Amino acid sequence: MINLLKIFRSVPFRSVPFRSVPFRSVPFRSVPFRSVPFRNLNLNLLNLHLKIVLPSIIWQSCRLPLRKLILPLFILTLTLPFFACDPSSGGPVYFHDAAIVSAGNQHTGAIKTDGTLWTWGRNDLGQLGDGTNIDSDVPVKIGTDTNWKTVSGTVAIKTNGTLWAWGGASSTPVKIGADTDWDTVSESYSHAAAIKTNGELWAWGDNYYGQLGDGTKTNRNTPVKIGSDTWIAVAADGYHTVAIKTGGSLWAWGKNDSGQLGDGTNIDRTAPVQIGTDTDWKTVSGTVAIKTNGTLWAWGGASSTPVKIGADTDWDTVSGTVAIKKDGSLWAWGDNTDGQLGSDTKIYIPVPIQIGKDRWREVSAGGGHTVAIKKDGSLWAWGYNGSGQLGDGTTTNRNTPTKVIHSAGE
């Protein structure tokens, strides 16, 4: 710092008249902005400003006339806009090439297009699967395998059809049974349900409210087959489960104190009960579903049977109360206590509103936070962040989509 101050003192501003270096002599157009990619600029310049130049200028301001500070301040102003994150300088590298994402209960999981599995957030019970009990506010790679197909909470399926789980008894992934025909899985904080390639439905976990659907209230430590029908979609949510059969009919079971089963009652069910008579259901999540005609429906709370949401017929996918339309636009509604709707507020939103103007491919709503993948494969998160589940390197809540960091620097 002392040497730098000597330099500042040895070169009075008057000795280098500004007019001696005409700005016109270096046309701005001769250095196209595109020729200097932002990502190639080094953060070491930022460190210089923050650690040496800026403190020096502040110190000088206490001893020198303002006219002698104009040049260093001018240089500082010109260079500040060029700070950017460069992997070689230790800046953040943002998560990219995301294929699958799952927002769990204060933790998040994602699979990249290269088949690698990543997790972050709360880890007191080993729910990240990294062999520790330490929370992480940035994604952590789980093992070295590159054949992960899908993930939900702390359960995942590999491309070879094997089923894996972690958390609780094991802080690293453990294979569940020897079957190699698992196709899709859904986990809530109390239980999990999965469908095999032949359409069979299986469930395991806590069963206090009958949420496994096997006709009992007995907890199951291993998957148990649910009936003999075939299914195309399943969603485990809280203490109840909703699923769609091969013929397009909608069924639910488990806890029903708020009408979350959609069967017109408040009676818990230990086995699947059909919701209405329609046979054109396409996808379901918790207490929200989309029909094949693109209409959006919801139930629970004010209505114990499905009610159509608006008149739009272009809904494509839904998770909780966040949905994507066929044009890739993102919409959200409902509880917004933690900013999980991404609307830049914490106000309850009664009807779907569009979130930004970007185009999205996939979304997952978890316990107070939401994570989504844009069309370009970038990963974004918002809402509650007390355990680092947003993956942005902080534990600060976010009311709008925030880019997920891949690592602190690589």
Give the integer Cα–Cα distance in Å for 292 and 65: 73
Q: What is the mean pLDDT of the chain?
A: 85
Comparison of pLDDT for 63 and 151, the residue scoring more: 151
Q: What is the mean pLDDT of residues 274-292?
A: 98
Which of the listed CATH numbers 3.40.50.800, 2.130.10.30, 3.40.350.10, 2.60.40.2240 matches domain 94-407? 2.130.10.30
Q: What is the mean pLDDT of residues 285-292?
A: 98
pLDDT at 329 over 50: yes
Report which DSSP code applies to 169.
T
- CB burial class (10 A; 0-12, 13-18, 19+) of residue 215? middle
Nearest of 337, 377, 370 to residue 355 by alpha carbon: 370
Question: What pLDDT sits at residue 75?
Answer: 56
Q: Quick one: what percent of the chain has pLDDT higher than 90?
A: 76
Q: What is the pLDDT of residues 10-34, one digit of tens each?
A: 334 333 343 333 333 333 333 333 3
pLDDT at 222 over 50: yes
CATH 2.130.10.30 location in the chain: 94-407
Q: Which residues of 68-87 are buried (b: 16+ CB within 10 A; e: fewer)?
A: bbebbeeeeeeeeeebbbbe
- CB burial class (10 A; 0-12, 13-18, 19+) of residue 267? exposed
Q: What is the mean pLDDT of residues 117-132?
A: 98
pLDDT at 164 over 50: yes
Residue 240 pLDDT class (50, 70, 90 cuts) = very high
Question: What pLDDT sits at residue 92?
Answer: 78
pLDDT at 5 over 60: no
Q: What is the pLDDT of residues 167-201, one digit of tens each?
A: 999 999 999 999 999 999 999 999 999 999 999 99
Question: What pLDDT sits at residue 27?
Answer: 37
pLDDT at 3 over 70: no
The answer for residues whose C-beta is within 8 angstroms of residue 139's C-beta and 6 or more apart is 95, 110, 118, 119, 120, 391, 404, 405, 406, 407
Comparison of pLDDT for 66 and 344, the residue scoring more: 344
